[in-house]
């Protein structure tokens, strides 16, 4: 097992390198960039992201170029930037140098990888702070939404899927399937708006808070009130996310159990006089749960990032999903690449953890004989 874990950890290195290389190449061909964004601001044609600069000349106080981040084709003069006519070419060149775009693409990529190996993500182009600080500030929100939503989803879906498999074709199976499908079909953001209208001071009740992960007086509260306050703020966002998250895991669990229940070893176990509960949880469970466990990494990463973007926006929760989206729109490449790096690394590590969980569920699995 130790050799397998070591091989998987070593495999993360080329995988991460390939992910970052593909993302880097895509950025090179993407239109626009931070320099062009600033030019649009200077000429009054862009009202999006703001950067700190002092006006004329080359005295620009934005940061991040030292980290070698990519940002489109910047190898020529100022004519390649839309709206750059009338600006001093020396000023444009100083912006390129400040962002690090005066270096060849391969050098920028190499410097970026070297910095990322040390978890040095540099400075944000359009925020007067480091990328690591931005991520650290947003991480609690994304972890809270992703982790609790995934745990709640699995805690409800697995028992429900098992009961649906045991009572396959019954009235309980039919009406629960109908409810799950309807919940899956309703978009999470629509549920979020509905919950706000009903319970967050929209038009009826004002029971739950509308914004933030904790209250303003959180740090002055006793420890038990801090816990209550934390979950009080999570009720509506998690409800909006979880209603559509049960369907896949529930039906996957049900179908997996149905397939195992019909196998010969179950018939043999029943013939030996084992109770239905012993057969179900002593023999069927560990075989049926393998495919469910395999879907955990994807479910967690989906809830951790893409699944929480709209929810973070609606409930004014500053998480990594919203941070990454805003950074893409604003061409804040240090933040974009840092979030890609972190999410990819987390996904690979959770995938390894999922494989190791296989051995806990079914000790017969031996990864030592498996080719990576």
Average pLDDT over residues 303-332: 77
| Stretch among 193-197, 204-208, 366-370 having the lowest mean pLDDT | 366-370
Q: Which residue has the higher pLDDT, 355 or 341?
A: 341
The pLDDT value given to residue 19: 92
| pLDDT digits 0-9 by tens, 114-123 | 989 888 888 8
The pLDDT value given to residue 233: 87
Contact indicator for 228, 215 with CB cutoff of 8 Å: no
Contact indicator for 324, 135 with CB cutoff of 8 Å: no
Contact indicator for 34, 125 with CB cutoff of 8 Å: yes
| pLDDT digits 0-9 by tens, 48-72 | 545 444 444 334 444 444 444 444 4
The pLDDT value given to residue 16: 92
Distance (Å, whole) CA 65 – CA 123: 8
- Using DSSP's 3-state secondary structure scheme, residue 103 falls into coil
**Cβ atoms within 10 A of the Cβ of 201, count?**
14
The pLDDT value given to residue 73: 42
Average pLDDT over residues 284-298: 75
Fill in the DSSP letter of residue 341: H
Task: Using the predicted structure, report yes or no on whether residue 192 has a pLDDT greater than 80.
Answer: yes
The pLDDT value given to residue 368: 62
The pLDDT value given to residue 79: 47
Average pLDDT over residues 208-234: 85
Distance (Å, whole) CA 7 – CA 352: 11
> Residue 318 half-sphere exposure, CB side, CA atoms within 13 Å?
8
Q: Which residue has the higher pLDDT, 324 or 46?
A: 324
Average pLDDT over residues 204-226: 83
Contact indicator for 191, 240 with CB cutoff of 8 Å: yes
Distance (Å, whole) CA 334 – CA 34: 10
List CB contacts of 133: < 8 A, sequence separation 6 or more: none
The pLDDT value given to residue 21: 92
Per-residue DSSP letters for 276-317? HHHHIIIIIHHHHHHHHHHTHHHHHHHHHTGGGHHHHHHTT-
Token couple for 179: 């409810």
Contact indicator for 237, 243 with CB cutoff of 8 Å: no
Token couple for 91: 């000023």
The pLDDT value given to residue 261: 85
Q: What is the mean pLDDT of the chain?
A: 77
Reported as a pLDDT band with limits 50, 70 and 90, residue 154 is confident
Q: Which residue has the higher pLDDT, 138 or 296?
A: 138
Question: Across 44-48, 67-71, 296-300, 355-359, which has the greatest mean pLDDT?
Answer: 355-359
**Cβ atoms within 10 A of the Cβ of 367, count?**
16
Reported as a pLDDT band with limits 50, 70 and 90, residue 81 is low
Distance (Å, whole) CA 260 – CA 122: 52
| pLDDT digits 0-9 by tens, 93-112 | 776 676 667 778 888 888 88
Task: Using the predicted structure, report yes or no on whether residue 18 has a pLDDT greater than 90.
Answer: yes
The pLDDT value given to residue 68: 42
Q: What are phi and psi of 31, to 5 degrees?
A: -70, 150
pTM over 0.85: no
Q: Which domains does the chain have, with CATH numbers?
A: 2-126 (no CATH), 134-329 (1.10.3720.10)
- Using DSSP's 3-state secondary structure scheme, residue 123 falls into strand
Question: Across 55-59, 219-223, 350-354, which has the greatest mean pLDDT?
Answer: 219-223
Per-residue DSSP letters for 219-278? GGS-HHHHHHHHHHHHHHHHHHHHTTTHHHHHHHHHHHHHHHHTSHHHHHHHHTT--HHH
């Amino acid at each position: 097992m130790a050799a397998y874990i070591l091989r998987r950890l070593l495999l993360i290195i080329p995988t991460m390198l390939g992910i970052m290389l593909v993302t880097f190449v895509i950025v090179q061909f993407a239109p626009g960039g931070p320099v062009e964004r600033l030019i649009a601001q200077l000429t009054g044609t862009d009202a999006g992201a703001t950067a700190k600069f002092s006006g004329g000349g080359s005295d620009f106080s934005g940061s991040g170029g030292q980290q070698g981040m990519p940002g489109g084709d910047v190898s020529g003069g100022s004519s390649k930037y839309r709206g750059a006519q009338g600006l001093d070419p020396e000023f444009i060149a100083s912006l390129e140098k400040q962002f690090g775009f005066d270096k060849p693409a391969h050098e920028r990529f190499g410097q970026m990888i070297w910095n990322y190996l040390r978890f040095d993500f540099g400075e944000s182009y359009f925020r007067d702070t480091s990328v690591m600080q931005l991520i650290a500030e947003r991480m609690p929100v994304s972890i809270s939404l992703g982790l609790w939503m995934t745990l709640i989803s699995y805690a409800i879906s697995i028992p429900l899927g098992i009961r649906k498999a045991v009572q396959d074709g019954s009235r309980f199976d039919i009406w629960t399937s109908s409810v799950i499908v309807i919940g899956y079909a309703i978009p999470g953001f629509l549920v979020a708006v509905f919950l706000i209208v009903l319970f967050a001071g929209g038009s009826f009740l004002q029971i739950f808070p509308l914004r933030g992960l904790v209250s303003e007086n959180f740090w002055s509260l006793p420890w038990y009130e801090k816990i209550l306050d934390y979950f009080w703020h999570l009720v509506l966002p998690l409800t909006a996310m979880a209603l559509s998250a049960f369907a896949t895991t529930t039906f996957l669990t049900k179908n997996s159990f149905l397939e195992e229940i019909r196998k010969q070893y179950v018939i043999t176990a029943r013939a030996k006089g084992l109770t239905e509960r012993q057969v179900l949880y002593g023999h069927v469970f560990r075989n049926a749960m393998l495919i469910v466990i395999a879907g955990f990494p994807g479910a967690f990463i989906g809830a951790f990032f893409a699944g929480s973007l709209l929810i973070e926006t609606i409930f004014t929760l500053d998480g990594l999903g919203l941070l990454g989206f805003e950074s893409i729109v604003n061409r804040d490449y240090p933040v974009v690449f840092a979030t890609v790096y972190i999410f990819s690394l987390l996904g690979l590590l959770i995938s390894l953890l999922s494989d190791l969980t296989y051995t806990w569920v079914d000790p017969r699995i031996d990864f030592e004989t498996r080719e990576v």
